[in-house]
Structure 1
């Protein structure tokens, strides 16, 4: 428990919560002591509303984002107060600004958080209207609060500039280790392979997210602030982790077939599985050393594990005659080679944290690193392209704007009829809860209501016992820190602590606290209900409508990856940036497909269309990517012979199959004859590939036994992978046809 608390206190979420608490509480306490409590509240709100936009990034983008947010928050506060007395101007402005702020989410995560801050500012301003000279005064105080938060956040960044990067790297190491453990689980004789593959697919979503975050920090930092040894070290570790993931994915063997083949020699696979587990355990150990800021000491001797596998292969060869053992030895040798490459990458990571390393390899890649980043520019064209009902953000913006209007009307009616206090809480609840997807909105609605009720009960129980204002103030600050820290981890717990903080705050300010909280719970329930109903009935963005697009993108990314592998095999040389970008895209698009699938299964059963067929396509794309990674890894790490015409014919056939699947998904049906025209030639090319070893013996008399063995390994792996790839591409076409027929 102590260790968990220490990790929580060291987390980025907790640090941000501390920053916003200091930025809000410090001016409030100082101004309260000087007799300007209301001014302190205005400054605190300015800091609090700037906080959501403080997302991880390099210092330049961090400052720019926070300053823009500060201007938007203070600008919204100013305009609402200025225009509110003029209804014919205020209401059109409110509708327009809410819709505009919602729409800027098309520019990515940073813009989404800026949008959130602006929307909160509009909602809060309607509940705290100012008049006369108070308007510029309170606008200035809000601006000051945003600047104070920016200054404190930058100060924390300068004091500990690398900690966030380290924690993200820790998470990346842990996720990669978990992925590799799942790969090890596949070697169990009675393994639930379907369940393991599903876990891998879900894990791919998390890995993609953490990879994108690390690219943003490590690569963009180099372009804006130069490159330190520490940044180079982290970048080298990240590149190694990406390579390890590809290597882990590339061990795409038919495990059932291998279990049957080595059923009488279980020690071989058992030794290899132990090595697979130790690879993951080593990464986890490295992660813990970084997290705890301790020197890394290797726990597992991976070299000895490799030697154990090699000895097991030798024992297997000795137990059989040469002809019987040949195929099995080839399979095991390929597996051992992958493990050797994984150990090599892990050793690079270990050296990064234990010794001085050579950064020559990183310097050679500098010129290409920027190509792996999402461009940071915001052309008007993107906003314009999304102004249609086909855009999820556009539909969400319409939905959110209309729901806020309805919530505002209900708030006015309730405040006059039921004498509700602070009806703007309805608007705040709608803004906080409503998301483009139904599943997350439903989840947040329930969590917020539960958190509000539970937090209210706990706070009232504590207030009935505690009478000291100082103790209540300390508890309020503590609850604020915990509420903000937990919001992105566990929304229910976060909402509970935020409610406790609000109750304690009102407990110090007003005697009728019970009535205030009663209305807060009522307003929260109204806002949550409106958000939930709107997401179901107002231009809903059901995931089954978007999934064909994600399937299409995943197939296209795999096709492009295969094309780059083919180019590399034909042309040899060094691995190109185009190859690496294609590989990255294949991993990212598979993660996006699984993320969309996860959202769909959170939606109502009536809106979950063709779940099994879509999941089947996701698994096929994952298996195809695994096979491609296996082929690409082998070609990269071996000196290969000249690509044969048969190889290119089969690759072209696989690409045509994938193109055909894409065509089916774009509902642009083409004649089956075009798709089937090369079947006969393809069959002949498979025969040619399968006779490759015989031709090698006849056409090239090879005296060197080692060279002969390497050529046979190459032939065996490439033939197996091409046959497997073609079969997978045919299955994808078949599954896509079935998906379209069942629409």
Structure 2
């Protein structure tokens, strides 16, 4: 058995590399081009061929082979156009840079159409710089003139990689979907396991800090869901999918349902910890949820290895033990425990349904169809036609648009780099502009991070390149190093930018050393990289800076609107019964997307200078409460079912409608920058004054569901109060009064509390206490 371990390890490494297939495609393209150039005796063609391959790979997005072929044709058309423009205008000095900046501005705005066009525009801009550098070298070697062979070779290298990519997509059509589902269930497993840590009967636990971390994990799950959905949608044809793609679509829909159930909250966790401090009930809840998180991770492994997924039965036993513990608590708990026990019972039902969802993934075909799903359609967010695409670009033509600001910033930075290059007469000066394109990002934090990594990576690559050239002067070995460096670049450019930059520098040095002495490039490469990085940093700081704090209120308003739309969809299904149709799933996905966008924006804000985030503490608390509100909405969605007509059901529906209206009013006020007073909600007051036997045990399922819906709606209303108060604090012009809770730029509070502590809660009705809701704490979870 031990002899098989190295083979298993090699297989695991192959699977890992195979699931990140772009480095493999780059390996095939670079190796074949290098071999062909050597056999033909044209080593000088290696550099433009390699650069064209790199630009084509940067312009690549996940798609079916048909979509990839269409994108390739557009890419090659753009590459040919910019190559011709560079050749026609090179040497015309300021005319060249004026046109180049206009092209950079227009290409950046094309990113508004969608991810495919954003990648094509970025790759085209990179190739334009490669064409400029190639033209400079051609003029230096052969004198002035039109050296058309350089752009032709660039486009040829791009076309060769594109052909390999199209063939790869045709041979392995579902591999990208598989890779994204693996990532999705891994992220989901991590999220569920962390959510389990909230179920601890410990006093004094900072639930808000855990909530903040959970919001970050939720953003990663949402991103993985979106990537998986786009990968599946790009491969859906006019006919219903069959085979592996049908299974993958079913697994994606199961992941959506698991996410909703796992993200739901049924009660305040501090209140549960107080009520069941001397019981093991919460630990049993934690164990069930932890096992389900482990099941998500095992499902990811099974998808990665294309093996059947089988539930191990531990969670079934843990659920049975949880039900037994609930029955024991029902017989022995005190009044406080009995008041909170319905929430535990609802949680147990939710966990049982979540377990059923995961068990449904064990079937080899159409797993979600076995769970009674009838609507399995997905929503297409791409541009419908050229009019829609043009409208999306037009909407960005405003200074309020982050994309417009980035386009202007990048154009100004490129012009500044060109001016510095001519003013100082630097050799290989166009690398300044190339560095600026790579380093200048839409966000301040990412740009500043790339500045240091770009300079350090270039220095590391120069040192490594010099050492390898001295130790291995053989051209064949240097060719191998160049190909490997290209693979390393694409394997790490999204996760380890410093290593990716070092690899790209190594590739350039190895390629140039095939035709000339690359030692003369070392000093210019270092100087130009430092200057280009500095220009990018100054541009993101001085040219239409895009501070997150200036637009957080818009993102928050969008989140509140989507929360309201989600609540309305949930409430409508209390009339018709639970159905996972496209409208419901779209509202749920929009709510999670906007919540993740708000959390991401606040995270980015903390990477910006202190003067740009003076009210960061309130923004953090707003994120925590927004995510908490979404968890209560998810609980309502997880337990939605048809309810019989009656006075209490009508009251519940009206309370939900008024809560949605309050959220929409809050969104409008926050977006306008002048949050008003809380909305009048008579249904909420009637709901709080509901019959006082909420703690009594009811065997009737309808009564239990009504009681659960009432509890969740009251929690939703408390969160609305808190969010309204946070909005007032957040958008207030005056700073907090001295002696109170002073905000710090790191999001903490001093001296009164920690992150997330709500200093002033919204009004909690006295009727809540009379109806068994007196346990709502000052810090809702």
TM-score (norm 2): 0.86
* 1:106-255 mapped onto 2 (5 Å cutoff): 106-129=112-135, 135-190=147-202, 191-223=205-237, 227-255=241-269
Question: What are the ranges of 5 or more consecutive residues in structure 1 without an aligned counterpart?
Answer: 698-704
Residue 271 of structure 2 corresponds to which residue in structure 1?
257
Are the aligned partners of 1:452 and 1:521 in contact in 2 as well (CA < 8 Å)? yes
Q: Aligned-pair RMSD on alpha carbons?
A: 2.9
2:730 pairs with 734, 739, 742, which one?
A: 739
User: What CA distance in whole angstroms lies between the structure 2 residues aligned with 1:328 and 1:665?
Assistant: 34
CA distance in 1, matches of 2:434, 2:29: 21
- CA distance 1:363–1:200, shift in 2 (3 Å): closer
Task: Tell me the residue number matched to 2:554.
Answer: 549
Counterpart of 2:624 in structure 1 is: 619
SS at match of 1:365: coil
Aligned match of 1:83 in 79, 86, 89?
A: 89
Change (3 A) 1:198 1:152: same
Alpha-carbon spacing, 1:4–1:633, altered in 2? closer, same or farther (3 Å): farther
Answer yes or no: is the 8 Å Cα contact 1:46–1:74 preserved in 2. no
Cα distance change of structure 1 residues 627 and 113 upon mapping to structure 2, 3 Å threshold: same
**2: distance between equivalents of 1:548 and 1:12?**
42
Distance 2:686 2:621 in 1: 30
For the Cα contact (< 8 Å) 1:392–1:436, is it kept in 2? yes
| Matches of 2:515 and 2:710, distance apart in 1 | 77
Partner Cα distance (2:588, 2:382) in 1:
15
- 2: distance between equivalents of 1:608 and 1:193? 24
Q: Deviations over 1:307-357 (max 9, x none)?
A: 111222233334459x887545433321210111011000011223xx786
| Partner-residue secondary structure (3-state), 2:398 | coil
- Whole-Å separation in 1 of the counterparts to 2:441 and 2:451: 10
Residue 373 (structure 2) pairs with residue 371 (structure 1): no
Whether the 8 Å contact between 1:590 and 1:622 is mirrored in structure 2 is yes
Partner residue of 1:658 out of 655, 663, 680: 663
Mapped pair 1:316 → 2:317: no
1:482 aligns with 2:482: no
Q: Cα–Cα, structure 1 residues 331 and 394, in superposed 2: closer, same or farther, change >3 Å?
A: closer
How far off is 1:540 after superposition? 0.7
Structure 1 counterpart of 2:640, from 630, 635, 643:
635
Cα distance in 2 for partners of 1:484, 1:693 equals 59
Question: Structure 1 residues 544 and 325, CA, compared in 2 at 3 Å: closer, same or farther?
Answer: closer
Does 1:599 pair with 2:613? no
* Equivalent residues of 1:459, 1:500 under 8 A apart: yes
Call closer, same or farther: CA 1:12–1:201 in 2, change over 3 Å: farther
Structure 2 vs 1, CA of residues 327 and 730 (structure 1 numbering), >3 Å: closer, same or farther?
Answer: closer
C-alpha separation in 1, matches of 2:21 and 2:568 = 45
Distance of 1:506 and 1:141 partners within structure 2: 16
Equivalent in the alignment of 2:712: 721
2:287 paired residue among 270, 274, 293: 274
Matched, 1:49 2:61: no
* Distance in 2 of aligned mates of 1:388 and 1:226: 41
Does the 8 Å contact 1:98/1:401 carry over to 2? yes
Once the 2 structures are TM-superposed, how far is the Cα of residue 373 of structure 1 from its aligned partner? 3.9
Distance in 2 of aligned mates of 1:729 and 1:667 = 18
Q: Distance in 2 between matches of 1:715 and 1:158?
A: 52
Q: Which residue of 1 aligns with 2:44?
A: 38
Deviates more, 1:51-60 or 1:599-608: 51-60
Is the alpha carbon distance of 1:245 and 1:640 closer, same or farther for their aligned partners in structure 2, counting shifts above 3 Å?
farther
How far is 1:456 from its partner?
A: 1.7
Higher helix share: 1
Structure 1 residues 292 and 13: CA distance shift in structure 2, 3 A: closer
Kept in 1: contact 2:655–2:681 (CA 8 A): no
Distance (Å, rounded) in 1 between the aligned partners of 2:15 and 2:676: 62
Q: 2:540 aligns with which of 526, 529, 535?
A: 535
Determine if contact 2:44/2:514 at 8 Å carries over to the other structure: no
Structure 1 residues 86 and 684 mapped into 2: Cα distance closer, same or farther (>3 Å)? closer
Correspondence for 1:562? 567
Cα displacement (A) at 1:545: 0.9
CA distance in structure 2 between the aligned counterparts of 1:41 and 1:460, rounded to whole angstroms: 18
> Which residue of 2 is the match for residue 388 of structure 1?
398
Give the whole-Å Cα distance in 2 for the aligned partners of 1:498 and 1:237. Answer: 38
Pairing 1:446–2:452 present: yes
In the alignment, the residues of structure 1 paired with residue 673 and residue 539 of structure 2 have an alpha-carbon distance, to the nearest angstrom, of 34
Structure 1 stretch displaced more, 220-229 or 210-219: 220-229
Q: 1:414 aligns to what?
A: 424
Query: Would the alpha carbon gap of residues 669 and 399 (structure 1) be closer, same or farther in structure 2, given more than 3 Å must change?
Result: closer
Structure 2 SS opposite 1:161: coil
Q: Map Cα deviations across residues 30-79 of structure 1 (whole Å, 9 max, x no partner).
A: 13322333344433332222111111122222222222112111211111
- 3-state SS of paired residue (1:690): coil
Q: Determine if the alignment matches structure 1 residue 401 to structure 2 residue 411.
A: yes
| Compared CA separation, residues 337 and 134, structure 1 to 2 (3 A) | same
Q: Which residue of 2 aligns with 1:701?
A: none
Say if 2:284 and 2:322, in contact at 8 Å, map to a contact too: yes
Deviates further, 217-226 or 424-433: 217-226
Structure 2: state its 5+ residue gaps. 735-781
Match of 1:690 in 2: 691
State the alpha-carbon separation in 1 of the partners of residues 492 and 597 from structure 2.
Answer: 26
Q: SS state of the match for residue 527, structure 1?
A: helix
1:588 to 593, 607, 611: 593
CA contact 2:643–2:649 (8 Å) conserved in 1? no
**CA 1:75–1:588: 2 relative to 1, 3 Å:** same
Aligned length: 717
What is the CA distance between 1:469 and its match in structure 2? Answer: 2.7
Partner Cα distance (2:242, 2:490) in 1: 33
Q: How many angstroms apart in 2 are the aligned matches of 1:546 and 1:144? A: 43
Higher mean C-alpha displacement, 524-533 vs 37-46: 37-46
Deviates further, 15-24 or 81-90: 81-90
How far the C-alpha of 1:731 sits from its partner, in A, is 1.2
Give the CA deviation at 1:529. 0.4
Q: CA deviation at 1:165?
A: 1.2
